Structure 1
Amino acid sequence: MFLARVTGSVVCTQKVASMTGHKLLIVEPYRLDEKTRAKLTSTGRTFIAVDTLGAGEGELVLVCQGSSARLTPETKTLPIDAVVIGLVDSVHVDAKEVKAST
């Protein structure tokens, strides 16, 4: 699992039937700043993830990737490898809240 910021969405007019009705989000993974450990910074990569929770652009989310992405009731029959499984309210490291840089 990893933390990511939702940066956009993908619209597909043609896709496999099992994916009909599933929202696709562009997510950008974040990591803890190695030097300060006081903020989350972007990894500079992006992924497409299925949204099972109604996440919106700009939100910090928890993403599950790989075969584990198909272990939720909503995704068990989908041909996916990344899914949003949590909406993040806060992140605490070393007893301090850290923020994601924008």
Structure 2
Amino acid sequence: MIIGKVVGNVWATRKDEALNGFKLLVVKPLDEYTERDIPTIVATDIIGAGIGDNVLVVKGSSARKALDKNNAPIDATIVGIIDEVDIDDN
């Protein structure tokens, strides 16, 4: 799983039919431990996340399984909104 922050929305009038009805959000993955800069991703949202939320994202086949859409062209899905993250600096 990936921890990320929702930074935007994606609207696509024309897209693969399998994506119809899905909310698409732009997520900036966060690396709280090393603070690396990781490129943004687009993820489907099944839990009602919004801009500014810290979220849990699954990728690959897990992303499709979370949606029960094994044949859809989906690579990332938001599966949780994070309340708090504790990291041990040692």
Q: Given the two structures, how large is their TM-score scaled by the length of structure 1? A: 0.77
Please identify runs of 4+ aligned residues in structure 1 that moved more than 4 A: none
Counterpart of 1:70 in structure 2 is 64
Deviation at 1:74, TM superposition (A): 4.4
In structure 2, the CA distance between the partners of 1:92 and 1:54, relative to structure 1 (3 Å rule), is same
| Pairing partner for 1:93 from 84, 87, 90 | 87
Is residue 64–residue 85 contact of structure 1 (8 Å, CA) maintained in 2? yes
Q: Distance in 2 between matches of 1:32 and 1:19?
A: 31
The runs of 5 or more residues in structure 2 that have no matched partner are: none
Deviation at 1:43, TM superposition (A): 2.2
Identity of aligned residues (%): 40
Deviation at 1:24, TM superposition (A): 0.4
Is residue 46–residue 67 contact of structure 2 (8 Å, CA) maintained in 1? no
Count of residue pairs brought into register by the alignment: 89
Opposite residue 48 of structure 2, the aligned amino acid is G
Q: Distance in 2 between matches of 1:81 and 1:52?
A: 14
Counterpart of 2:52 in structure 1 is 58
The runs of 5 or more residues in structure 1 that have no matched partner are: 35-40, 95-102
Matches within 5 A, 1:20-35: 20-34=20-34
Answer with 1 or 2: which has the greater Rg. Answer: 1
Is residue 29–residue 42 contact of structure 1 (8 Å, CA) maintained in 2? no
Deviation at 1:33, TM superposition (A): 3.3
